[in-house]
Amino acid sequence: MHPTFHVITFGCQMNVSDSDWLARTLIRRGFVRSALEEAELVVLNSCSVREKPEQKVYSALGRIARATRHNAQTFVALAGCVAQQIGERIFDSFPQVRLVLGSDGLGFAPDAIERLRAEPNLRLCFTDFSDSFAERPLEIIPGSRQATAFVSIMQGCGNCCAYCIVPATRGRPRSRSAEAVLVECRVWLETGVKEITLLGQNVNAFGQDGAAGDGPGFAGLLRRVAALPGLARLRFVTPHPKDVSPQLIRAFGELEQLCPRLHLPLQAGSDRVLARMGRKYDRAHYLKLIRLLRAARPDMVFSTDIIVGFPGESEEDFRDTLGIVEEVNFMSSFSFCYSDRPGTAAERMPDKLDAQLKLERLARLQALQERLSIVWLQGRVGDESVLLLEGASRKAASRGEAWQGRDPYGVPVNTFLPVGSGSSGVLMPVRITEAKKHSLLAVSADGGLA
Ligand code: 5AD
Ligand code: SF4
């Protein structure tokens, strides 16, 4: 019998990418993925960026215990940012948790899991930070065909945004060597991957920490990755506006593989709030970046993250946020009510806003964004575009096989193809026919089915 595992992931793309790595590693070691109820090993990859993250972990652990109660040997590996913060304290209250993997500890997981299976009374905790980027063997399942891949280029974050827990949970910034990044990208491309997303908490600070020696800097790295044979699309998350360099702006104009979509966290539109947040840019600088990027690449579109109700935020400050959202015309945004994080500077600030007021402002912002997003999506109808096919969706209809892909802006696009004619990783010219709330419909531009 093969051992079984189940993975539950909260949080950012970094966590999604870490969970994927662990799953691939376990599969290569003979494990098989299963439903939660059947799992011998449950990996819970946690996030602590907002709102009661510990409670979320505790309730997930409760759910896991109930689902697996018939299976005495089931154990849990708690990974990610909450694991980094709680550490081995979790062992006191949750007997099922036998492995704690902090931010730099994931690489120890495969061997640790094998030891834990052999020694039922053992518990292990890895929460030390490593001095340099914690390299892990690249695990690829032979014969796997995926269209897209994530590649980490740095760990940690060296900024001190007043609201943010990440520098505490992910440690100081450590860039990976450009050579290691290029080797990993090359291996993915050889398997048929067409799109690579470079990942980091502050991705465009790559190389600034000196950990990777005299590397090429972020824009230089983009150039080297874009030049790799087989790469059709290059993306990255998450950049910080203060580290958007002239070289990076130029790269958007020059590298055709670099997709014309940038997720650039704004956080607030008022200079007073931005200063209190410690963001190190103001409204005018952000707008200037948008202008320069659009000048370099006229079809460029933007998405963002926004926090409403930061301590001391006035109605006027909030209107500045609404104003800049409208001015930039974001295609989409993630917005959140400010939430206190332990040990951060904002936690100690006066003038906290009442929960009701924060929710009201969030609703106003989200209504505005919804309007902008719908108009933007509807404006795409009739456009010619190119989809990178990712997978066939479950519902196959009489019109053919339903496929999902993404356009260069990262928008999910659905299309019907003759049964058996689609394949993930194929770039397909299409014409957009309809806008849904968060996605588009398209038909094959060379007159395929429906
Ligand atoms: N409260 C609310 N939102 C937060 N974010 C980060 N910290 C907090 C906090 N304390 C948001 C930011 C960030 C996104 C990942 O989460 O907008 O960009
Ligand atoms: Fe969550 Fe931030 Fe940690 Fe990602 S880095 S898991 S978003 S707290």
* Model pLDDT, residue 450: 39
Q: Which ligand is closest in space to the CA of residue 9?
A: 2
Q: How far is the CA of 13 from the centre of ligand 2 (A)?
A: 9
Ligand 1 lining (C-beta closer than 6 Å): 49-50, 163-164, 265, 267, 305, 307, 336, 338-339, 341
Which of 10, 274, 305 most suits a substitution to test ligand 1, by most atoms within 8 Å of the C-beta?
Answer: 305
> CA–CA separation, 121 vs 98, rounded Å?
9
| CA 51 to centroid of ligand 1, rounded, Å | 10
* pLDDT value for 216: 81
Which residue's structure tokens are 């929960």?
Answer: 355
Distances in Å between the Cα of 413 and the Cα atoms of 8, 117, 260, 418, 444 are: 26, 43, 16, 17, 12
**Cα 119 to ligand 2 centre (Å):** 31
Give the pLDDT of residue 54: 83
Nearest CA owner, ligand 2 atom 1: 47
How far from chain centre, in Å, is Cα 295? 27
Q: How much is the pLDDT for 394?
A: 64
Of 8, 10, 15, the residue with max ligand 2 atoms within 8 A of its CB, to mutate for a pocket test, comes to 15
Residues 6+ apart with CB under 8 A from 109: 22, 25, 43, 77, 79, 99, 101
The pLDDT score that the predictor gives to residue 214 is: 64
Closest atom, ligand 2, to C-alpha of 170: 5
> Ligand 1 centre from 88 Cα, in Å?
26
Find the 141 Cα to ligand 2 centroid distance in Å: 26
- Cα-to-centroid distance, 358 and ligand 1 (Å): 14
Give whole-number Cα distances, 300 to 195, 218, 290, 323, in Å: 18, 19, 9, 20
Atom of ligand 1 nearest to the CA of 340: 10
Q: What is the Å distance from ligand 1's center to 445 Cα?
A: 40
Please choose, from the candidates 364, 423, 428, 359, the residue with its C-alpha nearest in 3D space to the C-alpha of residue 392.
423
Taking CA atoms only, the protein residue closest to ligand 2 atom 4 is 12
Q: What residues line ligand 2, using a CB cutoff of 6 Å? A: 11-12, 14-15, 47-49, 80-81, 165-166, 169-170, 201
Per-residue model confidence as pLDDT tens for the chain (450 residues): 899 999 999 999 999 999 999 999 999 999 999 999 999 999 999 999 987 888 899 999 999 999 999 999 999 999 999 999 999 999 999 999 999 999 999 999 999 999 999 999 999 999 999 999 999 999 888 888 899 999 999 999 999 999 999 989 999 999 999 999 999 999 999 999 999 999 999 999 999 997 666 678 999 999 999 999 999 999 999 999 999 999 999 999 999 999 999 999 999 999 999 999 999 999 999 999 999 999 999 999 999 999 999 999 999 999 999 999 999 999 999 999 999 999 999 999 999 999 999 999 999 999 999 999 999 999 999 999 999 999 987 666 677 899 999 999 999 999 999 888 889 999 999 999 999 999 999 999 875 543
Q: Which residue lies with its CA nearest to atom 7 of ligand 2?
A: 12
61 alpha carbon – ligand 2 mean position (Å): 19
DSSP three-state, residue 251: helix
